[in-house]
Structure 1
């Protein structure tokens, strides 16, 4: 038995040093809303540090995001983080949303430049009268309220960045504007994450860089999304899912194993915070967290049952 696995078996017993957070997306139908709330209730007893709710391309889910976040505040023990983007809105409109979040009891915003309404891969153009960059948005959020502000980070470089220097300059501008945490785009090769953290620290940036983890619920879907976001899909990952296109049950088991391997390896190398892109599918994430050593918080479970 390796030294790593021995260390892991004892060090993660109870996972007192592990922190997790979860990302959900707002529902588009009554059926999706039921699935969302089933996922939230499934994961709530794990007492995540926060849960975030996404914002569709072009701000297309603005109202649903606000409604979901408000319900999380009122009906759960969770601390919600609302996604907010710069696209398709004036500064005044965005500021109204920020103030509405504050009034609803939200104290954490995930600030993003956002994607055009046409979707990923289309050229971004700032809205006339709107915020031009994420750093501008972060500065406004911090001026309106004492929010915690998370921003995005790209271990394999944002597809629009011409160089690593430019990439790090963008992150530094967000931090200088008041960002308190960065959450990475998903990745499958942990070396990408560690090389990125080394670059960030060498640039004098000290905020936490939390790895974003995505269970591969659909290999075809994740592969397509990865191409648009600049994330690589290694050959070994494709091999794991080869031949499972018509076997969703086995694909789900393989997805759990792959994600568990990744997070356990990151934990072995000292990573303590993980952000899971749940895709509103809680069982896979719950199983991975269980393997990390997390167990249900009895106080939270009592509140959920009540």
Structure 2
């Protein structure tokens, strides 16, 4: 990666001026949602999309449950985003419990709905803690899925990356080798698992560059709205929680408003450090709530730029 003169000056500006002052708004952003289970959750999701749409994200993605358990709801949510907003919608698609024929049908249905972007993942086993077993007529890995999707339609494809190594990987080096396979198979970018210290991402970015990987690596940002939930998620993903973070959230269980303020501050500070290190693409795991992500984007210099499509008369 070539470091420009402006990027070399950026760390100095970050220390010499108020932390978020004067940012040019050149960061590119994207958001991730999960498909709603109830009508109330759908209203909350759509409120979040309406709130975040004016920030002009590059895309928003919608997750896919283990074993395809949210297949229909994912499709309906992605199709509605594609139909009613100007935001490019990306659909998660996994290999779990699906044949190549079934995946082709799902992918083609997305294409017909106007979806041009797939987040291709191997996927988690339906049973928590169980081992992934490929469908006898399906794809055995995300790299195979990417290759199969590229043969179906000219999708833009994103894949996952793991700054702290996938829990099932034999080593960090082998995990990076597999990331390269996914990108070489035709993926456009990798979006990382969430992490909580900027140096974690920088070390990973250096290792990826040393392996000869050129496509963009986008940091996945998870604002901590519920510390207990983050602890559970981090245990499953192998993500380290710094001691200082536990200290910051200690005593805030009964103070949700204060917890939100702390969460926004912590995530925004990490994003500012990433920005100072040359990062210009950020992917936010919203958990279907807009406030934290909107606040962080505002601090990064993003301002409203567009509106939802007018409803057809």
Say if 1:85 and 1:114, in contact at 8 Å, map to a contact too.
yes
Report the CA distance shift for 1:302/1:99 in structure 2 as closer, same or farther (over 3 A).
closer
Distance, in Å, in 2 between the alignment partners of 1:246 and 1:125 is: 42
* Number of matched pairs: 300
Q: Deviations over 1:203-223 (max 9, x none)?
A: 111110000000101100011
Does the residue aligned with 1:211 lie in a helix, a strand or coil? strand
Say if 1:41 and 1:304, in contact at 8 Å, map to a contact too.
no
Equivalent position to 1:160, from 168, 186, 194: 168
Q: What does residue range 141-220 of structure 1 map to in structure 2 within 5 Å?
A: 141-220=149-228
Equivalent position to 2:298, from 274, 290, 293: 290
The alpha carbon displacement at 1:152 in A equals: 0.2
Distance, in Å, in 2 between the alignment partners of 1:114 and 1:183 is: 15
The alpha carbon displacement at 1:11 in A equals: 4.9
For 2:273, the equivalent position in structure 1 comes to: 265
The alpha carbon displacement at 1:5 in A equals: 4.0
- 1:56 is aligned to 2:86: no
Q: Deviations over 1:61-92 (max 9, x none)?
A: 01111111111111111100100000011111
Distance, in Å, in 2 between the alignment partners of 1:99 and 1:303 is: 25
Report the CA distance shift for 1:304/1:235 in structure 2 as closer, same or farther (over 3 A).
farther
The alpha carbon displacement at 1:301 in A equals: 2.5
Q: Deviations over 1:187-212 (max 9, x none)?
A: 00111111111111111111100000
The alpha carbon displacement at 1:250 in A equals: 1.1
Distance, in Å, in 2 between the alignment partners of 1:61 and 1:141 is: 20
For 1:19, the equivalent position in structure 2 comes to: 28
Does the residue aligned with 1:276 lie in a helix, a strand or coil? strand
Q: Deviations over 1:214-269 (max 9, x none)?
A: 01011000111111111100100000100111221111111111111111111111
Distance, in Å, in 1 between the alignment partners of 2:179 and 2:22 is: 33
What TM-score do you get using the length of structure 2 for normalisation? Answer: 0.93
- 1:87 is aligned to 2:69: no
Distance, in Å, in 2 between the alignment partners of 1:304 and 1:183 is: 31
Say if 1:210 and 1:275, in contact at 8 Å, map to a contact too.
yes
- 1:251 is aligned to 2:262: no
Distance, in Å, in 1 between the alignment partners of 2:191 and 2:28 is: 13
Task: List runs of 5+ in structure 2 lacking aligned partners.
Answer: 1-11
The alpha carbon displacement at 1:135 in A equals: 0.5
- 1:31 is aligned to 2:37: no
The alpha carbon displacement at 1:164 in A equals: 1.8
Distance, in Å, in 1 between the alignment partners of 2:21 and 2:37 is: 43
Task: List runs of 5+ in structure 1 lacking aligned partners.
Answer: none
Distance, in Å, in 1 between the alignment partners of 2:20 and 2:98 is: 50
Equivalent position to 2:125, from 116, 124, 134: 116
Say if 1:58 and 1:87, in contact at 8 Å, map to a contact too.
yes
What TM-score do you get using the length of structure 1 for normalisation? Answer: 0.95
Cα RMSD for the two superposed structures: 1.5
Distance, in Å, in 2 between the alignment partners of 1:23 and 1:269 is: 23
The alpha carbon displacement at 1:302 in A equals: 6.8
